Amino acid sequence: MPELPEVETIRRNLQGLILQKELGQLESYTPEVLVNPEDLDPSGQTLQSLDRKGKYLVFNFDQASLLVHLRMTGKLLFAGPGTDPEDDKQEASHLRARLTFADGSRLLFDDLRRFGRISLFPLGEAWRDKGFAGLGPDAIGPDWTWEDFWAKLQRRPKSSIKGALLDQTLVAGLGNIYADEVLFRAGIRPNSLTGQIPEDKVREIYRLVPCLLEESIGLGGTSFRDYVNSFGRKGHFQLSLAVYQKEGQACPKCGAIIEKIQVAGRGTRYCPDCQKAYTGQKAKGH
């Protein structure tokens, strides 16, 4: 699933390409992908801003907000005004929706698994989407403060730290990849209990989260199988990963073998030597 760095990379790709353009037509080829309870038609409206919160993109037109969630395999691909619309299904082999602008440029919503969604609401009412409404502060935004993070963790002392980081109501934007990588850099086992991690170590997590995410954005995000940016290009942060999908390999810091366990229902990688467990008991298998 694209996480904050991948979605932010797409937003930055598109920022200079489609802002202030008039939308000619919004077409949906897979009914469940387009959620439009009020049957809104943004055709003829100008795109005034393109925002992001967590893993969501918000396209604000004159009178409508278009909310995009890529979910597992969604892509947003840009086709320039000089390209042939007849070629769009070759560029986007799983084309689910298409935004065509007045100058002939197009934004193609491609999604192999059809879990992604495009939702239309009256302008400024994207909060009517329950997932979007429930988001906590953005992980690289000014609203995510140390005081907020610490207070929320204190209310859930028996939660695993990885489970807390994956909770989008606590902080928005982190997923499996970056939670594992942040905790490796912080030297904390993912199954550590939030109530047992020393405050200075929690501060280190808080400091590392935006640093790691911005580092990934600078490299265009992480690409394995599905994610590409709006120009169809892969990111490069996968070359910098220390533990994610590295089970059975040597830790880049100490040489110990990276292990995989289940935490918060997700496959989780960690170094048994570099990452300390704060669980109140001896870690399983060690």
Query: Quick check: is 113 catalytic?
Result: no
Catalytic residue among 114, 201, 203, 266: 266
Question: CA-to-CA distance for 33 and 106, rounded, in angstroms?
Answer: 18
Question: CA-to-CA distance for 114 and 21, rounded, in angstroms?
Answer: 27
Catalytic residue among 2, 5, 42, 190: 2
Residue environment code for 33-43, b if the CB has 16+ CB neighbours within 10 A, otherwise e:
bbebeeebebe
Residue 222 burial by Cβ neighbours in a 10 Å radius (0-12, 13-18, 19+): buried
The alpha carbon torsion through 84, 45, 29, 127 (nearest 10 deg) reads 140
Query: Quick check: is 5 catalytic?
Result: no
SS3 257: strand
CB count within 10 Å of CB 102 equals 14
Query: Quick check: is 8 catalytic?
Result: no
Query: Quick check: is 3 catalytic?
Result: yes
Catalytic residue among 3, 6, 181, 259: 3
CA distances from 161 to 131, 206, 278 (A): 22, 12, 10
Catalytic residue among 52, 53, 55, 98: 55
Just list the catalytic residues: 2-3, 55, 266
